[in-house]
Amino acid sequence: MTEEPRYGSWGGLQEGRSRRELRLAWRDDRLPEEALSDSSCLCHGNGRSYGDSCLNDGATLMSTRGMDRVIDFDPATGAFECEPGLLIKELLEITVPHGWFSPVVPGTQFVTIGGAVANDIHGKNHHLAGSFGSHVLSFELLRSDGSRLTCSESENPELFRGTIGGLGLTGLITRIRFRLKHVPGAHIEQEKHVFRNLSQFFEMTEELENRFEHTVAWIDCLSKGRSLGRGIMMCGNHASGSSLKAPRAGLLRSVPLTPPFTLVNAPMIRAFNEVYFQKNALSAGSSLIHHRPFFFPLDGVENWNRIYGRRGFHQYQCVIPHGAAEDAIGDMLKRIRRSRAGSFLAVLKRMGSQKPAGILSFSRPGVTLALDFSNHGAPTLELLEDLDRITRSSGGVVYCAKDARMSPESFQSYYPQWRELERLRDPAFNSSFWRRVTKDLS
Amino acid sequence: MKKILIIGATSAIAEATARLHAEDGDRLALIARNESHLEAVAQDLRQRGAESVSSFVMDANDFARHEEVLAAADESLGGIDFALIAHGTLPDQELCERSAQSMRDEFSTNCTSTLSLVTVLANMLEPRGAGSIGVITSVAGDRGRASNYVYGAAKGAVGLFLGGLRNRLHGSGVHVLTIKPGFVDTPMTADFSKGPLWATPSVIAKGIRSAQKRRRDVVHLPGFWLMIMLLIRLIPERIFKRLSI
């Protein structure tokens, strides 16, 4: 029996205190007896969810990383089928040389395909492509009663929509079939634009979305006054650039250990933001770059999450409906500035109008804002609670995959349809997150 | 394009090694006991770029079939450049202490079956004057320890046998590689807590491929295990017997 828990989450807030950690290896095997005899079990992919949605305190976690086999790849049609533990990184290594790309990629290539489905992830192309779930053709779900259900839009459609964005609660996905996107090569024709404040972002974003398949903005969350919400808009289209080589690793390849305290504080963020903004403002314009630095800029530094120290960090990501977005995001930035908390990573993206693919999907029409905060305990929780108040009053929602602290009240108001997922949940599956946010409100 | 035979192809180290060869566009023949697992591995390797993958279901303890299955695999490949023997189990040491039958069964899986397969392979390759035979043993075979001496003895015996075979085949053109992994994070070792000495199967796989290319005789993987085992072998038996390591 493993004594030291190995499977944590990216925010490093919770030490995963699973009672048992098992490894799954074969898609045709039954669920392990030890998992089914425990109070509950949950699949764990690569642990890149930030909070506790990939943890199962006091019960069983089952790692799917050993289930990383490709089942079918047709370079003529771009249909791809694999086991759930394959990483986006591994997928791209196999398909990009044949001119095919993942239909949707998040900000890191270290997530599993199973996780991409379970969190119905979105990316810089959401305005055109929607979320990952809308490209899934079918999957097989292994339930704790031993049944194997093929799920698609026509077969078991309820479980299909429940499992997409279903946080791993409906059973084990053993195989997933989805559509890849054809690309001319491994590169991106990139264009960077400066916006001097938040309203400029809202003015330019629509026009850029018409010209670019991928758009995302970094904002300086410590800027104030007339520059409130200044930032850089990064846009890109797939390109061939076949003569260019893949980028080499930078100087800092890995954060080797977790310092006892966070290295991220307000003066440092202010300095970083100033330099980052000015550097990008100077280099605004177009260039041809490899897809890796464009899509996964932080992946160049392994374990970057360790800079937040032993207490870890929170990520807050919300999406606010279009009409309310500009005011709500302005209010949030002011509130963050007041807290002197600040965040390196502050990302803004206008989402498309696609219908959410899953019952509990996060992505929906509106503007999404993502921010990282060092964990300082009570003051951090207070700040996040205040952000929640703004999100709630403007009709937005918070992303479950990023969350470690929202109240059951907030969750149930964001996702009133949660009872539908609760009904579809496999009785043997549960997570720390789900127990926390579905507590009865009395 | 190389022709690669892998016995115990569904083991984690074997699968990781097979993927490296698939990415190189090599031709693979796989042998393993569980048909559905074997098929999952074969299918994956085809998608990862292997020129072709053939698979054969065989239990290594089914000695009567060794010659026939190896001949069929050899035929499907059209020759063998590298044969990797990777099958094995981690015996329940306590059970093997209580039951001589269990001890013999484990010895058969981890030692005798390997020696039989290596003998057949050596006789196949010797007249051709080319090819490599790589066998995964273990650092556990370097010294008898209370916690796993059945496994250690089986792996140690294989190591000794390979030394002799290497000596016999020296000058024939056939290369014999003894692979001694340290702690590897695989399903076989799922129940151990992992520390800094643990390596992933893909690290071991890269070591195997490079050792085979460079025609090394004995490799410890990762390399630091050579130093650790040198020190452990230096401890006199009258002290070692008192230790629990």
Cis ω for the linkage preceding B222 (within 30 of 0): yes
Q: In this complex, is the C-beta atom of A3 within 8 Å of any C-beta atom belonging to chain B?
A: yes
Amino acid, single-letter form, for residue A243: S
Give the pLDDT band (50/70/90) at residue A3.
Answer: very low
CA–CA gap between residue A73 and residue A176 (Å, rounded): 12
Percentage of chain A beyond pLDDT 70 is 95
Is residue A331 assigned to a domain? yes
Distance from CA of B194 to the nearest CA of A (A): 8
In this structure, of A2-16, A265-279, A392-406, the range with the lowest mean pLDDT score is A2-16
The predicted-structure confidence for A34-86, as pLDDT tens digits, reads as follows: 999 999 999 999 999 999 999 999 999 999 999 999 999 999 999 999 999 99
Q: Each residue's pLDDT tens digit in chain B (245 positions)?
A: 999 999 999 999 999 999 999 999 999 999 999 999 999 999 999 999 999 999 999 999 999 999 999 999 999 999 999 999 999 999 999 999 999 999 999 999 999 999 999 999 999 999 999 999 999 999 999 999 999 999 999 999 999 999 999 999 999 999 999 999 999 988 778 777 777 888 999 999 999 999 999 999 999 999 999 999 999 999 999 999 998 87
**DSSP conformation letters of A84-105:** TT-BHHHHHHHHGGGTEE-S--
Q: Are A356 and A165 in contact (CB under 8 A)?
A: yes
The pLDDT mean for chain A works out to: 91
The predicted-structure confidence for A159-190, as pLDDT tens digits, reads as follows: 999 999 999 999 999 999 999 999 999 999 99
**Domain tally, chain A:** 1
CA–CA gap between residue B26 and residue B46 (Å, rounded): 10
Distance from CA of B168 to the nearest CA of A (A): 39
What is the domain range of residue A233?
187-241+251-405
Q: What is the mean pLDDT of residues A204-212?
A: 94
Is residue A87 assigned to a domain? no
CA–CA gap between residue A187 and residue A294 (Å, rounded): 9
Q: Give the pLDDT score at A2.
A: 38
Nearest to A220 by CA among A279, A262, A303: A279
Is residue A357 assigned to a domain? yes
pLDDT exceeds 90 at position A258: no
CATH of the domain at A213: 3.30.70.2520
Q: Give the pLDDT score at A242.
A: 65
Is residue A116 assigned to a domain? no
Give the pLDDT band (50/70/90) at residue A246.
Answer: low
Q: Give the pLDDT score at A248.
A: 64
Element (H, E) at B112: none
Q: Give the pLDDT score at A144.
A: 97
Residue range B3-240 in CATH 3.40.190.10: no
Q: Which residues of A touch B190 (CB under 8 A)?
A: 2, 22-23
Residue A270: exposure state from Cβ atoms within 10 A (0-12, 13-18, ≥19)? middle
pLDDT exceeds 70 at position A245: no
Give this complex's ipTM. 0.89
Q: Which residue of B has its CA nearest to A82?
A: B44
A211's CB contacts (< 8 A; 6+ apart) are A235
**CB-based contact B44 A28, cutoff 8 Å:** no
Reading the block at residue A397, the tokens are: 């929602």
